[in-house]
Structure formats: C-alpha cells, structure tokens
Amino acid sequence: MHGFFHANRCRSRHVHSSSSLLFLRWERMGDPQTKLNRKASRSLLRPERGTNKKNPSTISDAEVVRWNMAISEHMRRGRCDLALHHFQTMPRRTSVSWNAMISGYLMNDRFDLARQFFDRTPDRDIVSWNVMLGGYVRNRNLSAARALFDRMPKKDVVSWNTMLSGYAQGGYVEEAREVFDRMPDKNSISWNGILSAYIQNGRIESARQLFDSKSDWETVSWNSMMAGYLRKKRLVDARYLFDRMPERDEVSWNTMITGYAQNGELLEAQKLFEDSPVRDVFTWTAMVSGYVQNGMLMEARRIFDEMSDKNSVSWNAMIAGYSQSRKMDLARELFDAMPCRNISSWNTMITGYAQNGEIDRAWSLFNEMPRRDSISWAAIIAGYAQSGHSEEALRLFIEMKRDGERMNRSTFTCCLSTCADIAALELGKQVHGRLVKAGYETGCYVGNALLAMYCKCGSIDEAYNVFIEMPDKDVVTWNTMITGYAKHGYGREALEVFESMKKTGIGPDDVTMVGVLSACSHTGLVDKGTEYFYSMEREYGITTKAQHYTCMIDLLGRAGRLEDAQLLMKKMPFEPDGATWGALLGASRIHGDTKLGEASAKRIFELEPDNSGMYVLLSNLYASSGRWNDVGKMRLIMRDRGVRKVPGYSWIEVQNKVHTFSVGDSVHPDKDKIYGFLEELDLKMKRDGYVSSTKMVLHDVEEEEKEQMLKYHSEKLAVAFGILTIPPGRPIRVIKNLRVCEDCHSAIKHISMIVKRLIILRDSNRFHHFNNGNCSCGDYW
DNA sequence: GTAGGGTTAG
C-alpha cells in the first residue's frame, strides 16, 4: 500500500526542479472514501432488497434486539461495513436500529453517513434527534447544532443538556448560561454542565460563586470544582474541597492525586496514594505519569513495576516517559514487551522516534502498525516536517487521503505549517479551501496555522483577511500577525495591531514584545521602540529577557547608533550570546564599521564555532571595505575548521510545481531561456546605472568567476523564471534559504522597475517586497 | 443519547 513511498523516501531534501512532487490536484485525485459513501447511500435507497425471506411480522422482538445489538457491537469495533450489512439484511427494523446506525457512524467519525441515516429515519424518536445533536456538538458545529435544536419537535432534558455542553465546550459561556436559564427542568447534569462551562473556560471565580450558591452538589460537581482549582494550580483550594466534601469516590482521590503529581508535589501525591481506599488503574497511572512528567523515571518505573494489572495506558505513559527523556532503547524494550499494544502505543513510539531524530525508525514502525489513525498520520507527518523533510511530509498528506484517513483539525494544522515552511502558497490555498469545506475554519490552532501560512508564504494581505475573520484570537494569533507584519517591513501596521490587541484584554507576552521591537527595528522606528522597551515591565508586566535586549541592540545598531548599542550590551543583565553579537555584527556590516564587526565576529566564533552564516557575514564586511586578503583568510579559516557553507538555493512555485535553483544552475529545462532573459535584463540594468558589486561573492561562488557568476545567483534565476512563467499582474514569490546578498538585492530592485512587476522575496531573515525600484526593507536587513 | 480523573498528535 505504501510502496509509493518506499522508492522515494530517501531522496535528499533538496527540492529538485524536475521532480514530480507537489502536483497536488486534491480535487482530481478522487476520494475512495467518498465513493464508498455514495455506494452505501445508493444501496440504502433500496433497503428491502436481499432482506430476510421471513415475514417481518413473525419476527420476535427479542430477535430484533439481537440484531440491534450486533449492529452496535460492529460499530463499536469500527466495522461500519458489517454493521451496514446487518442493518440492510435484518428482517425488521425499529427506531433503535436506525439510532444504532446513526450513533455508530458518529462514533466512527463518519458524520456525513450519520446525517444521511438521520434524514432517512422513518419515525424519528427523541433519541434520534439527541444522537444527531450530539454529533454536531462533538463536531464543534454549533450553528448547525443550534439549528437542529431549534427544529426539534420535542426537547427533553438530554437535548437541553447536550446543547448546554456544546456551548460550554466551544467556549461560549454566555450562550451556555442562556440555555441553562431557559431550560424548563434541570437535573444534576445541567447544574454540573453550567459549572463546568465556567471551569473549562477559565472562569474559576464565577464557578466558585455558583458552587457556593447551592449546597446539594453531586460528587461529580465537587470533583469538577476541584479539578478547576487544580488546573489553576490552586492546590490549597482544591485540597480544602477534598477534605470537606460529603462523599469521595475514586475520581475524587484520583483527581487530587493527579493534581499533586502534575504540579510536582510528588510527596503529597505519594501520601494520598497510600491513603487511597480504592486504587484503580487511574490512580496507578496518575502516579506513573506524575513521576514521568517530573523527569523522575526511576520512581515511575518502580510504581510501574508494582502495578498488578497494567493496562495499555500505563504502558504508554511509561513508554512516553522514556521517549521524552530520549531513552528510545528503553522505550522500545517496553514496547516490544507489552502484551496488548493499542494504537496509542504505536503512536507514542512513532512520536518518540520522530522527535529524537530517528525518522527512519519512526517510518518503519508506521509501516508495521496494524491500523493507523489520524494521530499516527499527524505524528509521522510532523516528524518529517520537523526534521526538514517538508516535501516528504506533504507527500504523506496525499498518501493519507488515499488511505482514506480523514483530515481533522490537527492534520490540517500540520499540513498548513508544512506549506508555510516551504512557502507553497498555491497548495496552502487549496488546503484552506478544503478546510472551509470541512467546516474546520474556526478554532484557534488551525486558524493560527492558516494565518502563519499566509504570512510565511509572503501573502500578507490574505493573512490579514484571515486574521480579522478569526472569531477567537488568542495570544498566538496576535503575535503571529504582529511578527508577520514586522517581517514584511510593515512596522506601522504591526504597531497598529499591537494597539488593538491591548484593547481586547488579551495581555501581550514576551513573544509579542519581540515582535513589536523587531517591527520597530525593521522600520527604523527608534524612539517608538525605545519607549516600548523601557515600558514593558512597568506597563505590561513582562520581564525583559535576553531576546528583548538583542532586539534593542539590533534596533540601535541598524539606526547607526553603534555606541548606544554597545553601551546597552554592557549594561544588560545577561551574558551576550551569539544572537546578540550577531545583531552588532549585522549593524557593523550595514554601517561599514569593520573594527566593531571583527570584534563581534571573534566573540561569535568562540560561542558558536559552527555558525557558517557568521563567517560569511564577516567576509562580506571585509569585502565591502576592500580587504580582499582578509576575505581570503576567512575562507582558509573556514576550510581549516571544517565549517561548511550551507549551499544557497531559491525556489518558486509555479502552477503547483516547486522549481528550485542553485547558483549557476544548469539542470533546469528552461535554462537557456532564463539565461538569455537575464542577459537582456543585465543590459537594461546597466543602462539604468546599475553596477554589479562583487562584495558578496563568498556567498556561494568561487572568486575567479565573480562577475560572471553573480548574475546567476539562485534568487536571480528564480526571479527570472517567475517573470517568464507567471502571468503579468500577479506577484512573483521567491524563497531563499539564506540571506539575500547585496548585489541581488539591488539587482532585483532594478528588475522590478524594468519589468513593472511586484517581486516578493523571502530570505532566511525577513521579507522583501520589491516594487518599482524600491524594497519594503528600505535596504535595511 | 447529556457530567468529573489517566496515554498519543497539533
């Protein structure tokens, strides 16, 4: 089934222009699952065909019950096909049979089929309605749930409770409250529903008030309240409740023990654990995972070994513990020894291997496992994406569709962030379309991923559209937008977003301030930046970290205030790291201060001897002040120390195809056209007064061929190819893995004027929007 | 068919 992969999976990560990847025509690939659906619903239209020959009226009720139970059982085991077969061949159906099909499909994540059965159910009882309502609620489609709810001919307390918990879980506390106030009769589930609506949405004080207003709470609600305090790390309040609650069940004990364990109070946890009257699997597992989460693997293992009847969850917790502490061989030992592996065990191992850089092992486990779920796919895809194999990751998405696995929120999130990594905008847009179709466009995680995708693909306007339409924005949302604007050189827009963020009541965090400061830095807003820097502790209660100092040194340095930058560096309460010195080195390059540049570079080489970018930066600095001997020396030093320059390459997406160029590329099929076009451009540029500078040659070219080769830097090739292939009026989006060199930067400025096109270049540091001879970075990068 | 506690993915 996965042979498609085996052949190609070891290819280098270097995207090759002629490779046949990313020809992603999602729509045209056909969805086997959808075909199956259609087939199923067609045969449903002739339900009596092939049914039992017996006269339906002679079938006993008991026999119908047996059929119904068989349907439920098959559904529970994930065998929708067998359940459907039973349903179609059973001699007589009751509403229970229909309901079993509906709830079974919902259980197996086949929402569309559930809805079809619901629509066809001949006489729907209130349970059918409630099951369907629950389906919408679990799918987080609250507007549809509400529409169904309002259409219900009759509602009982279950209907009301379902709607209530839907709103609660979706974060709509006010709506939940309204439902609660309107419901004609309330049971203990309703009361607990509104209580946990508050708790789950972080409104612990409202919960406490409600809890104090009434005395006859059930144990479940006591437990909820306790868990609420624990989530807020209010261990004392939780313990107070625990000590005076009228009745404690095993959940109460387990909640309290887990609370202590997860907050590092292992001694208290251990004490309660010993006092606990009933120790079930939960109790034991809570202890194991408590020790695991605090890195106490020996203790975890001791408890684990003492457990008499371990279930798969406890095994998985222990395995996760080993893999989180990079002890993959111990994890594997347990995995091999465990009696009944479930899908989570496989997923845990795959995640472990993937996160410990053993992607090949992750891959072979993924192929060995008997059944895969969306988590398995997400784990392996994230593994490839995070280890830099973006194309493999995207290829797996296609494979996942073939396998019939449905995209869910997390696979969408994962897919979008992979698109962002390689700046596959067209693909990202297609995924966006599918996301909307699947009804997942709401939700913070996936929304943030979408936003980041548009930002990183260079489509900042579309990013903003996504941003304003996101119904619930969290800190990450705001930070992504601010940083996005900053990287595109839109400092003022970034600061505007920051100002509106402050009005929402979502407090900025340290990441926000990094975004804000770098917005100021990339736009040259020195005073504004200084003001934010010195007021962040006082005004927003954010502790100033080393990163903020680095931003500030960058800001001052770029603006030419090199002495102030050095002064601040001396004053900062942290030991400067490579990034801090790097900011100073970058500033020295812009302002041609060779002496300061050398001094900074020296410190960087001590701190990060393998950072090839810094050697290149220093060489460029020497070159720009004509110190060619030193440039030569740098090259020798790099060779002696074995520092390898990362080869520079650029890529561009044209009609869903990614084309990659490296310097002096001679493999692209259109190379003659591209080179000819570049020559032509070169003549026009020279007429414009452009002089090719040989400053940045170390970048990726050998010295002898300096001038000749510079014309063929990878970004120039990609830009030329884009102009030739992308219809006029559309921007040309190029991505480069290193910083853009000065010569290319000034050449592309000229090109943008000559061909009258908008050229957007993402380099390793930021975005450059070239338009009409200017760049959005203001030559500041 | 609707509540509370343990493992895996983002």
C-beta within 7 A of nucleic chain B, residues 482-541 of A: none
* A106: CB within 7 A of chain B nucleic strand: no
Closest CA to A388 of A4, A737, A24, A21: A737
pLDDT tier at A37, thresholds 50, 70, 90: very low
In a domain, A461, yes or no: no
CA separation for the pair A48, A44 (Å, rounded): 9
Buried b (16+ CB within 10 A) or exposed e, A261-284: bbbebbebbbebbeebeebebbbb
In a domain, A756, yes or no: yes
* A109: CB within 7 A of chain B nucleic strand: no
In a domain, A680, yes or no: yes
* A76: CB within 7 A of chain B nucleic strand: no
User: Above 50 in pLDDT, residue A398?
Assistant: yes
The structure tokens listed for A18 are: 């002629």
CA separation for the pair A620, A697 (Å, rounded): 8
Q: Are strands A649-654 and A732-736 parallel, antiparallel or unpaired?
A: antiparallel
pLDDT tens readout for residues A271-289: 999 998 888 888 899 899 8
In a domain, A63, yes or no: no
Q: Is the dihedral of CA A418, A424, A428, A431 positive or negative?
A: negative
In a domain, A502, yes or no: no
Cβ atoms of A454 and A428 within 8 Å: the answer is yes
C-beta within 7 A of nucleic chain B, residues 226-255 of A: 227, 249-252, 254-255
User: Above 50 in pLDDT, residue A19?
Assistant: no
CA–C1' span, A360 to B9, in Å?
Answer: 18
User: Above 50 in pLDDT, residue A8?
Assistant: no
pLDDT tens readout for residues A300-326: 999 999 888 788 888 999 999 999 888
pLDDT tens readout for residues A81-97: 999 999 999 989 999 99
Mean pLDDT of A489-514: 90
- Give the highest mean pLDDT range of A5-19, A51-65, A174-188: A174-188
Cβ atoms of A780 and A590 within 8 Å: the answer is yes
In a domain, A153, yes or no: no
Domain count, chain A: 1
Radius of gyration, CA atoms only, chain A: 31
Buried b (16+ CB within 10 A) or exposed e, A225-252: bbbbbbeeeebebbbebbeebeebeebb
Q: Is the dihedral of CA A633, A634, A635, A641 positive or negative?
A: positive
Q: What is the structure's pLDDT at A54?
A: 56
3-class secondary-structure state, position A346: helix
CA–C1' span, A377 to B9, in Å?
Answer: 8
In a domain, A413, yes or no: no
**Angle at Cα A510 formed by Cα A507 and Cα A511, nearest 5°?**
100
Average pLDDT, chain A: 83
pLDDT tier at A39, thresholds 50, 70, 90: very low
User: Above 50 in pLDDT, residue A403?
Assistant: yes
In a domain, A247, yes or no: no
Q: What residue numbers bound the domain in which A679 lies?
A: 649-775
Q: What is the structure's pLDDT at A56?
A: 61
What are the distances in angstroms from CA A560 to CA A374, A376, A434, A593, A693?
Answer: 52, 51, 48, 10, 23
* A348: CB within 7 A of chain B nucleic strand: yes
Ordered alpha helix ranges (H), A139-170: 142-151, 157-169
pLDDT tier at A692, thresholds 50, 70, 90: low
Q: What is the structure's pLDDT at A668?
A: 82
User: Above 90 in pLDDT, residue A686?
Assistant: no
Q: Alpha carbon A321 to chain centroid distance?
A: 23
pLDDT tens readout for residues A563-612: 999 999 999 998 888 889 988 888 888 888 888 988 998 888 888 877 77
Residue nearest B10, CA–C1′ metric: A410
Q: What is the structure's pLDDT at A708?
A: 54
